[in-house]
Amino acid sequence: MKYLVLLLVSWQALAQSTREQQLNFRTKGATSELKAAAYASKGIYEPTQATEAFILANAKNIKELKAILPNAYGLVIRSRLTINEDFLSHCPQLQFIARSGSGLENIDTALCKTRQIRLYNSPEGNRNAVAEHALGMLLGLMNKLFKANKAVKSGIWNREDHRGEELDGKTVGIIGYGNNGAAFAKKLRGFDVKVMAFDKYKTGFGDHFVQECTLEAIQEQADVLSFHVPQNKETLYYFDSAFLKSMKKPFYLLNLSRGKIVDTKALVEGLSLGLVKGAGLDVLEFERKSFESFFDQEIPEELQALFAAENVCLSPHVGGWTTESYIKLSSVLADKILADEPN
């Protein structure tokens, strides 16, 4: 695995840079994959005072990476780098970690808090992309577009077999009303639907369009179930056989959060019984930290079942991966870091 990390070795160089340089820092285009990792990558190719504060760490393995960590003041990451006690032991001067994206599940957040290492992420940067992706998947499934596209390209013209159903009049249940859940609800405002949302850690978010409710209410009424929760001990396999059986109506399932939120075996069971009418998954239970190595493993039987299902739409964790979010993720992270004065 190759690690792309941006190390901040001098906050003073950044703090002393001009406002013009800082703006350039956030908005200057770059061609490296690391561009989406953090605002700093925007300016790394420019010979400004601000960019001199940063070092691009392009390590072939974790050993090489650890060798350059002792001088790091800040760490900006894009990859799914595991930052645990061993990793942090090589970072005696580390003051912050910035993650381009939303998930912090690979970072020991408790240890960071103990060491007073500030954590940043940028879910605001790709929430719109995730919401649009979710809506696209849902409409495609309900209108059987994925199945119809394949049929027509195979020389099959069967209209009745591809009769869809409309979203209007349905009840959409959203689990997790953070940045992505709220953005998805916003996209649904153009439809005549009932939107219900449950969030264990948030209250008081309901309005004239979104009904704040219990999980049980969603399980009772939802025609569409969409997960937008972080991965943690409480949400691992949130959707399992027990959850499936608690749903009172056949439904469409969307998961654009983390793969291990949904138990694939339970999903396959639901599809085979007709309890799940269709599924749109941008993430999979069997994802690896290195996305590119996904097909290097033996494909489990339940995953093969998803591959074969005509009413399942899969995408390779690209819900938040658009041309626009590529820039916004960095800009959001930029604003957050620049807003904090160094000690």
Q: What is the pLDDT of residue 288?
A: 79
- How many residues in the chain? 343
For residues 84-90, give the mean pLDDT.
93
Cβ atoms of 231 and 103 within 8 Å: the answer is: yes
Per the model's pLDDT, the better-predicted residue between 243 and 11 turns out to be: 243
- Asked if the model's pLDDT at residue 267 lies above 90, the reply is yes
Q: What backbone torsions phi and psi does residue 286 show, to the nearest 5 degrees?
A: -100, 15
Hey, what amino acid is at 294? F
Reported confidence tier of residue 298, pLDDT bands at 50, 70, 90 = confident
* SS3 category, 212: strand
Reported confidence tier of residue 56, pLDDT bands at 50, 70, 90 = low
CA gap 334, 54 in Å, rounded: 14
Q: What is the pLDDT of residue 176?
A: 97
User: Among 230, 289, 6, 237, which residue's Cα sits nearest to residue 103?
Assistant: 230
State whether 306 and 197 are in the same domain.
yes
- Asked if the model's pLDDT at residue 27 lies above 50, the reply is no
Q: What is the pLDDT of residues 153-179, one digit of tens each?
A: 999 999 999 999 999 999 999 999 999
Cα dihedral 167, 171, 176, 182 sign: positive
State whether 153 and 212 are in the same domain.
yes
Identify the domain containing residue 78 by its residue range.
3-125+323-339
Strands (E), 9-95: 54-59, 74-77
State whether 201 and 249 are in the same domain.
yes
Number of domains the chain is built from? 2
Task: Give the Cβ contact number of residue 234 at 10 Å.
Answer: 10
Q: What is the pLDDT of residues 191-238, one digit of tens each?
A: 999 999 999 999 999 999 999 999 999 999 999 999 999 999 999 999
Q: What is the pLDDT of residue 314?
A: 97
Per the model's pLDDT, the better-predicted residue between 182 and 44 turns out to be: 182
State whether 131 and 234 are in the same domain.
yes
- Asked if the model's pLDDT at residue 126 lies above 70, the reply is yes
> For the CA atoms of 205, 211, 215, 216, what is the dihedral angle to 10 degrees?
150
State whether 201 and 273 are in the same domain.
yes
User: Among 164, 78, 180, 83, which residue's Cα sits nearest to residue 129?
Assistant: 180
Which span out of 13-27, 120-134, 283-297 was modeled with the highest average pLDDT? 120-134
State whether 79 and 148 are in the same domain.
no
Cβ atoms of 286 and 294 within 8 Å: the answer is: yes
For the chain, report the end-to-end CA distance as a whole number of angstroms.
35
Q: What is the pLDDT of residue 263?
A: 98
Per the model's pLDDT, the better-predicted residue between 72 and 56 turns out to be: 72
State whether 19 and 113 are in the same domain.
yes
* Structure-token pair, residue 141: 């499934």
Q: What is the CATH number of the domain that holds 305?
A: 3.40.50.720
CB neighbours of 336 closer than 8 A, spacing ≥ 6? 98, 120, 122
State whether 140 and 249 are in the same domain.
yes
State whether 81 and 164 are in the same domain.
no
Cβ atoms of 283 and 253 within 8 Å: the answer is: no
Q: What is the pLDDT of residue 292?
A: 62
State whether 48 and 131 are in the same domain.
no
Tokens 């990390």, residue located: 5
CA gap 214, 218 in Å, rounded: 7
State whether 151 and 170 are in the same domain.
yes
* Structure-token pair, residue 98: 């910035």
For residues 245-257, give the mean pLDDT.
98
User: Among 181, 183, 186, 184, which residue's Cα sits nearest to residue 198?
Assistant: 181
State whether 57 and 142 are in the same domain.
no
For residues 263-279, give the mean pLDDT.
98
For residues 1-9, give the mean pLDDT.
48
